[in-house]
Amino acid sequence: MLDQNRIIEKLDNIERMLTEQNILQKEVLNFNEACQYLGLSQSHLYKLTSSKSIPHFCPQGKRLYFKRLELDEWLLRNRTSTTDEIQQQAADYLIKKGRVKL
């Protein structure tokens, strides 16, 4: 019985991994696939689409579709700089404006 449960658990893991791999290969995702890809709840993704905060397609006014590459770009926007990057930018700015002489 214990071995049977392990086999079922492993098969479930394999099925989940195959589904995730399939999503990564698709160019256009449906709503549920986009939720899974982004790790968002359905209600949150609906909120984002209704407020036009996330790029999406609604070809006939019913179903929502998303381009995976646009979702990647959306995820990567508004990058937060590290402290080192901010300090380097400040130093570059001061040098450029001539306020700090080397």
DSSP 27-38: SEEEHHHHHHHH
> Mind listing the pLDDT tens digit for each residue in 76-91?
998 888 999 999 999 8
Euclidean distance between CA atoms 87 and 77, whole angstroms: 21
The tokens for 88 are 């380097």
CB 93: neighbour CB atoms within 10 A?
Answer: 11
- Who has greater pLDDT, 42 or 23? 42
> Mind listing the pLDDT tens digit for each residue in 51-75?
999 999 998 888 999 999 999 999 9
How is the chain split into domains, by residue range? 28-97
